[in-house]
C-alpha cells in the first residue's frame, strides 16, 4: 500500500482510503509504543531534518520521538540562531539541507504554503508540521485517531471546533479530514475570529456555545491567543471565557456525554476550565500519545523507496 501523495502537505484533498490507512497503521504503532523496547529498526539509515521556523515544543517533541522510535537519525534546525535570521531565503536553506542528503523534511513555518514551496524545490519527502493558519495535518490525524478510539467510526459524528477558527491550522486540517471521513463539522467562536466564507467549506457555524453544545458529540477546543486581543479581535480573556469558555456548569447543563479535545497547550480557566480538561470526558492525554503513533505511521508510509522490489527475499 502507498499513499497517493509523496508528501504530507495537508489533508485537503487526501482521500478516505489514505486517511484510513494512516490511522490503521498508527494503531499498529501504538502497540509498538507499549512494548518494553518501544523502538523498531524500520527507518535505520534514514535522516529527518526537523525545520522549525516557528517556536513549537509539543509538535517538535512528538515528531522527534516518532523519528527515534523508528530508528531514523534526526537533525534539528530552529529559527533562533540559524541562517534564516541572516536573510537566507527558504529556497537556499532548503537546497543546503538537501545537499546533506536528507530523506525527510518536517517543517513548521509561519507562512501558509511554505511546505508546498519547499516540496517543489526538494527531492526529499516533506511533511507539514503546521504552516501559518493553513494546515497541521498530523494534528488532525491524531485528533481523528483519538475520536476513532472513542466512537469506532467518524461517520455521522458531530464535531464542533471552538475558538479562533480564522488563525487556526488545526481547525482547517480537522475540517478537511473530518468531512472526508463523513463527520459533521461545526465551528463556534467570536464572529471576528470566524472566516467570512467558512460555510463554503461545508461546515455549520454556531453563533453561541450553548447552541453548539446542544448538538455536538465532540468539542475540539482551540487555544485562544492573547495577541488577538491586541488586534482588537476580542475584548478580553474574561469576556471570552464568559461567552465561549467550556466550563463544568455548561457541560452539566447538557445531559449528554460530550467528548472534550484540545490540541494544547491549554489556557486553563480561559477556553477550558481545569476540571473539564482533567475530567472524565477529556481525551486530551490520549491525543498526545496518539500523536507519536500517527507521526510514526506518516513517516513509515511516506518512506517510499523509488525502486521496484527486486527478487523476493522475504517469504518467497
Q: Which residues bind another protein (CB under 8 A)?
A: 1-2, 12, 21, 24-25, 27-29, 31-32, 35-37, 39-43, 45, 89-91, 109-114, 116-117, 131-135, 167-169, 172, 195-198, 200-201, 297, 300-301, 303-310, 312-316
Instruction: Find the shortest distance in angstroms from Cβ 101 to another protein.
Output: 13
Angle of the 16-33 helix axis to the 58-69 helix axis, nearest 10: 70
Q: DSSP letters of 108-144?
A: EESSTTHHHHHHHH-SSEEEEEEETTTB-HHHHHHHH
Instruction: Find the shortest distance in angstroms from Cβ 59 to another protein.
Output: 17
In the complex with another protein, which residue's Cβ is closer, 6 or 158?
Answer: 6
Name the CA dihedral angle for 192, 195, 198, 199, rounded to a multiple of 10 degrees: 30
In the complex with another protein, which residue's Cβ is closer, 99 or 200?
Answer: 200
**Interior angle at CA 194, CA 189 and CA 198, nearest 5:** 125
In the complex with another protein, which residue's Cβ is closer, 255 or 307?
Answer: 307
Alpha-carbon gap, residue 241 to 218, rounded angstroms: 19
- What Cα–Cα distance (Å) separates residue 41 from each residue in 36, 72, 89, 102, 305? 15, 8, 35, 18, 16
Instruction: Find the shortest distance in angstroms from Cβ 137 to another protein.
Output: 13
Helices (H) and strands (E) in the chain, counts: 12, 9
In the complex with another protein, which residue's Cβ is closer, 69 or 262?
Answer: 69
In the complex with another protein, which residue's Cβ is closer, 137 or 245?
Answer: 137
In the complex with another protein, which residue's Cβ is closer, 244 or 300?
Answer: 300
Instruction: Find the shortest distance in angstroms from Cβ 29 to another protein.
Output: 7
Instruction: Find the shortest distance in angstroms from Cβ 274 to another protein.
Output: 30
Q: Report the SS3 class of residue 316.
A: coil
Amino acid at each position: 500500500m502507498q499513499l497517493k501523495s509523496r508528501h504530507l502537505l495537508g489533508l485537503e484533498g487526501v482521500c478516505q482510503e489514505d486517511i484510513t490507512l494512516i490511522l490503521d497503521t498508527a494503531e499498529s504503532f501504538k502497540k509498538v509504543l507499549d512494548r518494553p523496547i518501544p523502538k523498531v529498526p524500520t527507518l535505520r539509515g534514514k535522516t529527518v531534518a526537523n525545520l522549525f521556523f516557528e517556536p513549537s515544543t509539543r509538535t517538535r517533541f512528538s515528531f522527534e520521538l516518532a523519528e527515534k522510535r523508528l530508528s531514523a537519525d534526526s537533525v534539528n534546525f530552529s529559527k533562533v540562531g540559524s541562517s534564516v535570521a541572516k536573510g537566507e531565503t527558504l529556497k537556499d536553506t532548503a537546497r543546503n539541507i538537501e545537499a546533506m542528503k536528507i530523506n525527510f523534511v518536517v517543517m513548521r513555518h509561519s507562512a501558509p504554503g511554505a511546505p508546498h514551496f519547499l516540496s517543489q524545490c526538494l527531492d526529499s519527502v516533506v511533511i507539514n508540521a503546521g504552516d501559518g493558519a493553513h494546515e497541521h495535518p498530523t494534528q488532525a490525524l491524531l485528533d481523528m485517531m483519538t475520536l476513532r478510539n472513542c466512537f469506532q467510526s467518524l461517520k455521522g459524528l458531530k464535531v464542533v471546533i471552538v475558538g479562533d477558527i480564522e488563525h487556526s491550522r488545526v481547525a482547517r486540517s480537522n475540517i478537511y479530514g473530518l468531512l472526508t471521513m463523513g463527520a459533521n463539522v461545526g465551528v463556534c467562536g467570536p464572529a471576528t475570529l470566524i472566516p467570512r466564507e467558512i460555510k463554503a467549506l461545508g461546515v455549520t457555524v454556531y453563533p453561541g456555545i450553548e447552541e453548539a453544545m446542544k448538538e455536538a458529540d465532540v468539542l475540539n477546543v482551540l487555544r485562544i491567543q492573547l495577541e488577538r486581543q491586541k488586534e482588537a479581535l476580542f475584548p478580553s480573556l474574561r469576556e471570552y471565557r464568559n461567552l465561549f469558555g467550556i466550563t463544568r456548569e455548561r457541560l452539566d447543563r447538557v445531559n449528554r456525554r460530550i467528548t472534550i479535545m484540545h490540541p494544547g497547550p491549554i489556557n486553563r480557566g480561559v477556553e477550558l476550565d481545569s476540571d473539564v480538561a482533567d475530567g472524565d470526558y477529556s481525551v486530551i492525554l490520549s491525543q498526545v500519545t496518539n500523536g507519536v503513533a500517527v507521526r510514526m505511521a506518516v513517516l513509515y508510509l511516506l518512506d517510499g523507496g523509488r525502486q521496484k522490489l527486486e527478487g523476493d527475499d522475504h517469504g518467497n
